[in-house]
Amino acid sequence: MNEKKRFYHSLVFPAFFLFLIWFVKFTEVALELSYVRFGVLPQKMVGLIGILTSPLIHADLKHLADNSIPVFLLSLAIFYFYREIAYKIFFLIYFLTGSLVWLGGREAYHIGASGLVYGFAAFLFLSGVLRRNRNLMAISLLVIFLYGGLVWGLLPYDYSVSWESHLMGALTGFFLAYNYRALGPEKEHYSWEDESDDDTPDPPEDILYEDSSIPRNP
């Protein structure tokens, strides 16, 4: 598959997911409904449905717009660089993040795709470090810059924000990056790694031995 085809193929699912979360919000607004009850409600049986539905639901259009660009760019990067396991990574981050929030989050409805943003960013960044791939690290750092305050979102500084989703997403992304460290784009190769052992200086002619009983070569 050439690079152009590979890129277009990588666009399909991220674009579909982006369309889906906007479609959900438009139906919510058009029908004058609230889908908040479909968020993750930790440790409540009724809240289990949120593991499936919470990333699709957003509090308002600003919340949705803030999540749209990073979730699209990061998922695109995953599908481009990790096309063999992209669906596995996407859905593992999707469901593991929601499950961990259900197990350990505060008793409140947790909604939004920001847990996915943190999961994807953590996966790509650690993968880039482990594989020494600057493209993966650069994409994650760019999103951190554009998204603003990504690191602070891991801390409970604003209790109206589901920092638990951010933290669980990041932990899931790091775990999967390490677990699948053998898969993905090739490690970048640097010229200094090709330096020959021939450049090693010759040892001096006079050699001192720890055992003085061993005579020196004439």
Domains, the chain, with CATH or none: 3-184 (1.20.1540.10)
Convert the pLDDT of each residue in 106-162 to its tens digit: 999 999 999 999 999 889 888 888 877 777 777 767 766 766 566 655 656 666 778
3-state SS assignment for residue 165: helix
Look at residues 120, 34, 37, 35 and name the one whose alpha carbon lies nearest to residue 76. 120
Which pLDDT belongs to residue 193?
45
Contact 70, 119 (CB under 8 A): no
How many other C-beta atoms are found inside a 10 Å radius of the C-beta of residue 8? 10
Angle among Cα 23, 58, 169 to the nearest 5 degrees reads 110
- Please report the pLDDT score of residue 188 as a whole number: 53
**pLDDT at residue 214 in the model:** 43
Residue 182: per-residue pLDDT: 85
* Model confidence at 184: pLDDT above 50: yes
pLDDT given at position 211:
44
CA-closest candidate to residue 58, choices 138, 197, 165, 213? 165
Gyration radius (Cα) of the chain, Å: 24
Higher pLDDT, 164 or 213: 164
Mean pLDDT across the chain, nearest whole number? 82
84: tokens are 């063999």
Q: How confident is the model at residue 79 (pLDDT cuts 50, 70, 90)?
A: very high
List Cβ neighbours of 71 (8 Å cut-off, separation of 6 or more). Answer: 14, 17, 18, 21, 113, 116, 117, 120
Cβ-based burial of 41 (10 A; exposed 0-12, middle 13-18, buried ≥19): buried
Residue 63 has pLDDT above 70, yes or no: yes
**141, 81 Cβ separation under 8 angstroms:** no
Contact in structure between 141 and 89 (CB atoms under 8 Å): no
Closest CA to 140 of 157, 117, 163: 117
pLDDT for res 139: 74
| Cβ atoms within 10 Å, residue 66 | 18
